[in-house]
Amino acid sequence: MQEKRLADLHVHTNFSDSNFSPLEAVQQAKKLGLCAIAITDHDTVKGIAQAVKAGKAYNIEVIPGIELTCERNGCEIHMLGYFIDYKKRWFRNKLEEICSQRIERSKEILEKLKQHGVGIKIEDVLKLSHGGSTGRLHIAQAMVKKGVVRSLKDAFRKYIGDKAPCYVSKFKVTPKEAIEMITKLGGVPVIAHPHILGEDKLIPEFIEYGLRGIEAYHSDHPDHIAKFYANLAKKHNLFITGGSDCHGSGKGHILMGKVKLPYELVEKLKKAKPQ
- Find the shortest distance in angstroms from Cβ 218 to Zn ion: 9
User: Cβ distance 217 to 245 under 8 Å?
Assistant: no
- Find the shortest distance in angstroms from Cβ 21 to ligand AMP: 17
By CB under 6 A, name the one of 37, 52, 152, 266 that touches ligand AMP: 152
Sign of CA dihedral 213, 214, 217, 218: positive
Which residue number places its CB atom closest to ligand AMP?
Answer: 135
Choose the binding region for ligand AMP from 50-58, 118-126, 130-138, 252-260 (rule: CB under 6 A): 130-138
Q: Considering the complex, state which of residue 8 and residue 67 has its C-beta at the smaller distance from Zn ion.
A: 67
By CB under 5 A, name the one of 6, 7, 14, 17 that touches Fe ion: 17
Q: By CB under 5 A, tell whether 41 contacts Zn ion.
A: no
Residue type, 94: K
Q: Considering the complex, state which of residue 137 and residue 211 has its C-beta at the smaller distance from ligand AMP.
A: 137
Q: How many CB atoms lie within 10 A of CB 76?
A: 15
Question: What string of DSSP letters covers 58-106?
Answer: HT-EEEEEEEEEEEETTEEEEEEEES--TT-HHHHHHHHHHHHHHHHHH
Q: Degrees (nearest 5) of the Cα angle 229, 258, 72? A: 45
181 binds, among Fe ion, ligand AMP, Zn ion, none (CB under 5 to 8 A by kind): none
By CB under 5 A, name the one of 78, 102, 136, 212 that touches Fe ion: 78
Provide CB contacts within 8 A for 7, sequence distance 6+: 34, 35, 36, 37, 38, 61, 260, 261, 262, 263, 265, 266
Q: Which of residues 177-196 bind Fe ion (CB under 5 A)?
A: 192
Q: What are phi and psi of 74, to 5 degrees?
A: 75, 5
Where along the sequence are the contacts to Fe ion (CB under 5 A)? 17, 78, 192
Where along the sequence are the contacts to ligand AMP (CB under 6 A)? 17, 42, 69, 135-137, 152-153, 156, 161
